[in-house]
Amino acid sequence: MSPLFLVEVVVMVVLGVTALVLGGGMALTPGQRRYEMLRPVTWAMVFGALSMSLTGLTNLCMMLGRNAMTPELRQAAFSGIAELIVPIMLTFAVLTVAWGLAAIGLRRLA
């Protein structure tokens, strides 16, 4: 696992918690300021998920380029491809909850 990937994981956890706190705060005490802060956090999480997936794809390509294709390597490659989807799925799951809470707050604000 590359050090860059570990940094990305920490950043994504911090951004995810921030998005959930902003969404929860929006649901409890709606305000335009929290809504405006949630937008850039959302974009940062989306780009972070893409970055994590591309880092994983790069590592996978390097592994495939360095080794001869064997059944074990093929199995590892397919597992690596499946792992590329995980950051994107988790990001959108967190954003779904955060924006769902924000929608409750927006409804109360209107």
Q: What is the pLDDT of residues 57-85, one digit of tens each?
A: 988 898 888 888 888 888 888 988 888 89
Whether the predicted pLDDT of 90 surpasses 90: yes
pLDDT of residue 74: 87
The one-letter code for the residue type at 100 is G
Q: For the chain, give every domain's residue range.
A: 3-109
Provide the whole-model pTM: 0.84
Residue 1's pLDDT band, with cuts at 50, 70 and 90, is: low
Whether the predicted pLDDT of 25 surpasses 90: yes
Where does residue 38 rank: exposed (0-12), middle (13-18), buried (19+ CB within 10 A)? buried
Whether the predicted pLDDT of 2 surpasses 70: no
Beta carbons of 53 and 88 less than 8 angstroms apart: yes
